[in-house]
Amino acid sequence: FLFRIPTSSVYHLSMPSDCSFHKLQQGIAAMAVRRSLPKGIPLTAGQKIFLTAGSALFGVLDTYRGDLIATLSETTTPSLLLRSLHARMNMSISGRRLMQERPTIDPTTLNLEELSGLPSNTFGYAYYKFMSSHGYSSEDRTPVRFITDPDHAFLIQRYRQTHDFLHCLSDLPPNLLGEISLKVGILRLKIGHCRLSLI
């Protein structure tokens, strides 16, 4: 979900029932032009510990606080991991292009009204149905705040923006069980809060 494919694919990708998750991953589109991310706020070790503990505690008490989960992902994902992921992205043409252009997913680049007119067996329509049925918007994702490297911040932001794609592709609901199941599936990325959410 971090790579780039032609922008028209989101409108034409069909979803046969026997298609593997890996093949469906290839249908996720990256759109728009390179965007500049806001400069991240540097944290001391003490501030990072405080934010991690607070976000974890209050995130459990109020599971609808997506901003707390977002903060947790930023304070628990090691810089070494982000450097490794960045290096892996630069090993392929599509990965380098994605990092250079930094496309974003928002209402201006992925119009739900347009997607609603697509055939029911397309990924675009499945995405529209998922988002509209839950009252979601692609602009709801919390911006990255505590990662200072712009490339690393983009990787985390991209992960957040494609999260709803994964719900569509896996047919997992956006509830506690569905979210944990998704995080089990993406543990290979070794993003900190994915491991913490399983505890």
pLDDT tens series, the chain, 199 aa? 443 434 444 444 444 444 444 444 444 333 333 455 667 889 899 999 999 999 989 887 887 788 888 999 899 988 998 999 999 999 999 999 999 999 999 888 889 999 999 999 999 999 999 999 999 998 888 899 999 999 999 999 998 999 899 999 888 888 878 888 887 777 665 555 554 444 4
Burial 120-139, CB ≥16 within 10 A → b, else e? eebbbbbbbebbeeeeeebe
Question: If DSSP codes are grouped into helix, strand and coil, which group holds residue 104?
Answer: coil
- Give the per-residue pLDDT at 8: 44
Separation in Å, CA 129 to CA 9, 11, 122, 167, 186: 17, 13, 11, 11, 23
Q: Report long-range pairs for 38-47 (Cβ below 8 Å, ≥24 apart).
A: 38/143, 38/144, 38/145, 39/148, 39/150, 40/144, 40/145, 40/146, 40/147, 40/148, 40/149, 40/150, 40/153, 41/145, 41/146, 41/148, 42/148, 43/75, 43/146
Integer Cα distance of 31 and 8 in angstroms: 9
**Mean of the per-residue pLDDT values of the chain:** 79
Integer Cα distance of 77 and 64 in angstroms: 21
- Give the per-residue pLDDT at 92: 94
